[in-house]
Amino acid sequence: MADPGEDRIAQLLGRVARKANGLSQPDRREFLRAGLAFAGSTALGSAAVMRDALASADNLPPNVPPWTRSVGPGVVTNPYGAPSAFESGVVRRTVPWLTASAISSISFTPLQDLKGIITPSGLVFERYHGGVPAVNPDDHRLMIHGLVSRPLVLSMDQLMRFPSVSLIRFIECPANGGMEWRGAQMEALQFTHGMLSCCEWTGVPLSVLLEEAGVKPEGRWVLAEGADGSAMTRSIPMEKALDDTIVAYAQNGEMLRPEQGYPVRLLNPGWEGNTSVKWLRRLEVGDKPWHQREETSKYTDLMTDGSARQFTYVQEANSVITFPCPEKPLREKGRYELEGLAWSGRGRIRRVDVSLDGGINWQPARLKGLVLPKALTRFSLPFDWDGGRALLQSRAVDETGYVQPTLTQLRQARGTESIYHKNAIHTWRLDESGAVTNVQIE
Amino acid sequence: MADPGEDRIAQLLGRVARKANGLSQPDRREFLRAGLAFAGSTALGSAAVMRDALASADNLPPNVPPWTRSVGPGVVTNPYGAPSAFESGVVRRTVPWLTASAISSISFTPLQDLKGIITPSGLVFERYHGGVPAVNPDDHRLMIHGLVSRPLVLSMDQLMRFPSVSLIRFIECPANGGMEWRGAQMEALQFTHGMLSCCEWTGVPLSVLLEEAGVKPEGRWVLAEGADGSAMTRSIPMEKALDDTIVAYAQNGEMLRPEQGYPVRLLNPGWEGNTSVKWLRRLEVGDKPWHQREETSKYTDLMTDGSARQFTYVQEANSVITFPCPEKPLREKGRYELEGLAWSGRGRIRRVDVSLDGGINWQPARLKGLVLPKALTRFSLPFDWDGGRALLQSRAVDETGYVQPTLTQLRQARGTESIYHKNAIHTWRLDESGAVTNVQIE
């Protein structure tokens, strides 16, 4: 909730603060004095904190818990497994008011519960324009036609005989964070950034299929059409089609999930998710873009002068702190490992900086695990919390040198009428109770 | 089935062929004359094959399939997703005669259906000694005690505050392929090699927890005990514990599945799977190994002189061709991409060679995608099949220079009484019908 005193501070700072319901605008300077600091060393763990907490443990080994005194189910009780019943809260969720109907809506990945960089297939966000078609793979065909010498109609068996590649790549809806362009604040990481996932995708390079079909010299664009009820369709420039686009049939080791385009989809690594057309049935080579329904009525960026940016495919560098976050507050003082995710549609993440005071002071985070191009990259930073307030931010830099912009920079360049491509530095406010809320500071 | 004429050939070759029921011993030399060859180039795809196949396609676009003429279910119809109903055959399976009871048995991963290197969590093979305990994470504790200065009893919340790492690593039961030591032949890739999976694991390095507890100078071994009904227990030398062992709570981005040790397990990368104790509840530091039930009655290797190898932890370099295989025969002549998996418990795979003639001629395969230490590595090689017979083999070499042995070499070193650590070069026989069977050649 807004603190009246903070308006005055914002004015003193000379910032024109756009406000929406519930928008908080804390003074970043106060956090310099607050009881939160980057950990003085990168020593792992904090013995004092841990042992203090242990004193209250009331269920200590060497007691023998009930589950050790019996035997459980044996093998293939569940031939295709499922998560523990204790994890039933880790699911995709939607925002009912976001769209008119569930068949043309979005569900969100619970980023707050994820570890590492792989998103389990069952938790990958959903975005449909006409619901999930029940495609029979035996009857499905992929047609490649238009400005080609040898039109092709491939069955799944035929498609899967071509040499394949496997790539770990993120996929993100360009509307991710879009509710916040004008100041709306979603009070959950799942809803601020959850149109985002990262999987290992396997399929045939589109370049291989286009070589097979023989693209004519005048072929400059590829139309991709889905077999769903909306016949979702996008225009892809030939440069991308011949670069790293794949015709993907598998995800995280198994065939695509129905909601991810089973049995086959396009995957345009690093580009806005809607271009990775699902339930792919048709690829047409042409000499110019088609300006189809979804790429004119949607997926353009309205600028302040009334013009629209079109074919803004790339998901620029972005990042968000995933712990702490609204769903994962701090419950006691002590040493923690701050964590987050960074990604760029242009390649690898080079570095991520973290601020605890709303962007005044920055410290480089550690990039954890694999740092792959166009993939989620996890970062972390140890910090000590003694109960003070903080404004947590992360700022990604990718291998092209692109620096994730502030909200002010993004709005200066793009106005506030956009829906898509909001990749501004995100701020979490940590208060004295350990609660985390979503705030916008400029 | 054995061909009587082949016995004679084996004798002529001077090989003493061990035979079991159904063992086939084809003459490798005949395959030099057979109609199968490495593809002359690495050109991607085969236009002639593909276009021939297309002529019979009877369901060609631009027809509009029924699923495009309706809309399907919308978002969060399935908050935690599931595979397509058309993939219901892709499941874990067991061999009923393998053990006395399902609660102390093994199920197998369907490697024949997997793509890339990630195994979806629902398909990771199972191995229990007392079934799957239903551990309540709120009541679970991990005790670290013995030769330490500061014994610890950690709740899951406390454990998960320590800095974590995420690693893509294989896990393999050392009994993988063990039925074949004496000549038994399982007619399915799922059963010859399916005690094998590869996931992204997240957890706390054991070295961090041991530092927290303060290992005394005389501490040289760590006992790991599970909370399952068998209290599965293994001794781990301190060198490994301080190297890359992690106390893992997540798998492929989400919390461990129940059958993988929910809420926490040990993970000893590259070592036999049973050392990665699941449902981990106790770590005791001692000055010598414990020789517990499972590491004396099981998980030792009986040699021909009657002695037993003990604490043979490392899963040495191994590989297998996953396509074609018994479950995935060839259905027509033409160009294919042979695929397989290679792995080594000592580090990265350096190269994989493939033979089509039972080991006379070899050609280097391409390593596809990520080549990570102690992880599955996928390899491939294009080949043209004109209907002849072949003996398909793969041979992995890891970064230490270790070369996967032939079956003869392995038996010369280890005899035939072992159950564990059978990593010999595996042979698939491809016959004129395109069928693939499991054969042993020496």
Q: What is the DSSP string of A25-59?
A: ---GGGGGTSSEEE-SS--SS-HHHHHHHHTT--S
Contacts of B338 in chain A (CB under 8 A): none
pLDDT at residue B179 in the model: 86
Res B363 pLDDT > 80:
yes
Residue B435 placed within a domain = yes
Average pLDDT value for residue range B10-23: 30
CB A385 within 8 A of CB A333: yes
Give the span between the Cα atoms of B313 and B414, in whole angstroms.
Answer: 15
pLDDT at residue B290 in the model: 96
pLDDT at residue A36 in the model: 52
Q: In terms of Cα–Cα distance, which of A200, A119, A125 is closest to A372?
A: A200
Residue A335 placed within a domain = yes
Res B442 pLDDT > 90:
no
Residue B323 placed within a domain = yes
For chain A positions 307-346, those within 8 Å of chain B (CB to CB) are 331, 334-337
Res A27 pLDDT > 80:
no
Which pair of tokens denotes residue B105?
């048995």
Give, in degrees to the nearest 5, the angle at Cα B206 between B200 and B209.
130
Residue-level length of chain B: 442
Phi/psi for A163 (5° steps) reads -60, 140
Identify residue A250 by its one-letter amino acid code. A
CB A374 within 8 A of CB A344: yes
pLDDT, tens only, A387-402: 999 999 999 999 999 9
A190: three-class secondary structure by DSSP: helix
pLDDT at residue B97 in the model: 84
pLDDT confidence of A4, banded at 50, 70, 90?
very low
- Distance from A110 to chain B by nearest Cα, in Å? 10
pLDDT, tens only, A105-145: 999 999 999 999 999 999 999 999 999 999 999 999 999 99
For residue A318, the cross-strand partners are A343
Res B17 pLDDT > 50:
no
Residue A91 placed within a domain = no
Contact A115 B368 (CB under 8 A): no
pLDDT at residue B60 in the model: 57
Q: In terms of Cα–Cα distance, which of B89, B203, B90, B199 is closest to B154?
A: B203
Contacts of A89 in chain B (CB under 8 A): none
Average pLDDT value for residue range A208-237: 97
Same domain, A234 and A353: no
Which pair of tokens denotes residue B206?
């054991």
Contacts of B80 in chain A (CB under 8 A): 82-83, 90-92, 122-123
Residue A99 placed within a domain = no
Last residue of a domain, one of A309, A340, A372: A309
Last residue of a domain, one of A283, A309, A335: A309
Which pair of tokens denotes residue B164?
């974590």
Domain that holds residue B29: 4-39+315-439
pLDDT at residue B62 in the model: 63
- Percent of chain B predicted with pLDDT > 90: 79
For residue A172, the cross-strand partners are A196, A272
A440: region left, alpha or beta (phi > 0 left; psi from -120 to 50 alpha): beta
pLDDT at residue B273 in the model: 98
Contacts of A91 in chain B (CB under 8 A): 76, 79-80
Same domain, A193 and A301: yes
Give the span between the Cα atoms of A187 and A184, in whole angstroms.
Answer: 10
Chain-centroid distance, C-alpha A94? 15
Q: In terms of Cα–Cα distance, which of B303, B271, B291, B311 is closest to B418?
A: B303
pLDDT, tens only, B364-421: 999 999 999 999 999 999 999 999 999 999 999 999 999 999 999 999 999 999 999 9
Q: Which of B106, B133, B158 sits opposite A72 (nearest CB)?
A: B133
Residue of B nearest to A198 (CA): B253
**Other CB atoms within 10 Å distance of the CB of residue A21:** 9
For chain B positions 251-270, those within 8 Å of chain A (CB to CB) are 252-259, 262-263
Residue B349 placed within a domain = yes
pLDDT confidence of B31, banded at 50, 70, 90?
very low
Average pLDDT value for residue range A372-399: 97
Res A415 pLDDT > 60:
yes
**Other CB atoms within 10 Å distance of the CB of residue B431:** 16
Same domain, B333 and B269: no
Give the span between the Cα atoms of B414 and B410, in whole angstroms.
Answer: 6
Same domain, A331 and A257: no
HEC-encoded secondary structure of chain B: CCCHHHHHHHHHCCCCCCCCCCCCCCCHHHHHCCCEEECCCCCCCCHHHHHHHHCCCCCCCCCCCHHHCCCCCCCCCCCCCCCCHHHCCCCCEECHHHCCCHHHCEEECCHHHCCCCCCCHHHCCEECCCCCCCCCCCCCEEEEEECECCCEEEEHHHHCCCCCEEEEEEEECCCCCHHHCCCCCCCCHHHHHCCEEEEEEEEEEHHHHHHHHCECCCCCEEEEEECCCCCCEEEEEHHHHCCCCEEEEEECCEECCHHHCCCCEEECCCEEHHHCCCCEEEEEEECCCCCCHHHHCCCCEECCCCCEECCCCECCCEEEEEECECCECCCCCEEEEEEEEEECCCCCEEEEEEECECCCCCEECEEECCCCCCCCEEEEEEEEECCCCEEEEEEEEECCCCECCCHHHHHHHHCCCCCCCCCCCCEEEECCCCCEEEECCC
- The one-character DSSP state at A241 is H
CB B436 within 8 A of CB B188: no
pLDDT at residue B37 in the model: 63
Contact A122 B82 (CB under 8 A): yes
User: What is chain A's mean pLDDT, rounded?
Assistant: 88
Best probe of the A interface among B107, B118, B160, B169, by most A CBs < 10 A, is: B118
Res A35 pLDDT > 50:
no
* Residues 6 or more apart whose Cβ sits within 8 Å of residue B89: none
Residue A223 placed within a domain = yes
Same domain, B171 and B290: yes
Question: Which range is least confidently modeled, A366-370, B27-31, B182-186, B260-264?
Answer: B27-31
Same domain, A299 and A356: no
Average pLDDT value for residue range A254-272: 98
pLDDT confidence of B49, banded at 50, 70, 90?
very low
Same domain, A389 and A259: no
- Distance from A61 to chain B by nearest Cα, in Å? 6
pLDDT at residue A100 in the model: 82
For chain B positions 66-95, those within 8 Å of chain A (CB to CB) are 67-87, 90-94
**Other CB atoms within 10 Å distance of the CB of residue A6:** 17
Best probe of the A interface among B139, B161, B169, by most A CBs < 10 A, is: B161
Res A55 pLDDT > 80:
no
Highest mean pLDDT among A26-35, A50-59, B19-28, B325-334: B325-334
Long-range residue pairs from A299-303, CB within 8 A, at least 24 positions apart, any chain:
A299/A174, A299/A234, A299/A272, A299/A274, A299/A420, A300/A420, A301/A414, A301/A418, A301/A419, A301/A420, A301/A421, A302/A415, A302/A417, A302/A418, A303/A414, A303/A415, A303/A417, A303/A418
Average pLDDT value for residue range B84-102: 92
**Other CB atoms within 10 Å distance of the CB of residue A86:** 16
Residue of B nearest to A261 (CA): B84
- Distance from B81 to chain A by nearest Cα, in Å? 4
Res A3 pLDDT > 80:
no
Res A14 pLDDT > 60:
no
Average pLDDT value for residue range B321-326: 98
Give the span between the Cα atoms of B350 and B368, in whole angstroms.
Answer: 12
Q: In terms of Cα–Cα distance, which of A380, A385, A377, A369 is closest to A433?
A: A385
Give the span between the Cα atoms of B125 and B193, in whole angstroms.
Answer: 10
More confident residue, B135 or B9: B135
Contact A228 B68 (CB under 8 A): yes
Same domain, A137 and A249: yes
Same domain, B337 and B412: yes
pLDDT, tens only, A153-171: 999 999 999 999 999 999 9
Evaluated on CA atoms B169, B171, B174, B179, the torsion sign reads: negative
Res B331 pLDDT > 70:
yes
Query: Could you tell me if A96 lies within 8 Å of chain B, comparing CB atoms?
Result: no
Res A49 pLDDT > 50:
no
Last residue of a domain, one of A309, A344, A361: A309
Tell me, what CATH number does A366's domain have?
A: 2.60.40.650
Q: In terms of Cα–Cα distance, which of B130, B180, B186, B99 is closest to B420?
A: B180
Average pLDDT value for residue range A9-17: 28
A292: three-class secondary structure by DSSP: coil
pLDDT confidence of A51, banded at 50, 70, 90?
very low
Give the span between the Cα atoms of A303 and A305, in whole angstroms.
Answer: 5
Tell me, what CATH number does A303's domain have?
A: 3.90.420.10
More confident residue, A15 or A408: A408
pLDDT at residue B11 in the model: 32
Same domain, B144 and B282: yes
Residue B266 placed within a domain = yes
Contact A122 B72 (CB under 8 A): no
pLDDT at residue B98 in the model: 83
Peptide bond into A329 cis (omega under 30): no
User: What is chain B's mean pLDDT, rounded?
Assistant: 88
pLDDT at residue B61 in the model: 61
pLDDT, tens only, B279-320: 999 999 999 999 999 898 889 999 999 999 999 999 999 999
Same domain, A322 and A374: yes
pLDDT at residue A56 in the model: 39
**Total domains, chain A:** 2
A90: region left, alpha or beta (phi > 0 left; psi from -120 to 50 alpha): beta
Same domain, B325 and B228: no
For residue B311, the cross-strand partners are none
Dmax (CA) for chain A in angstroms is 75
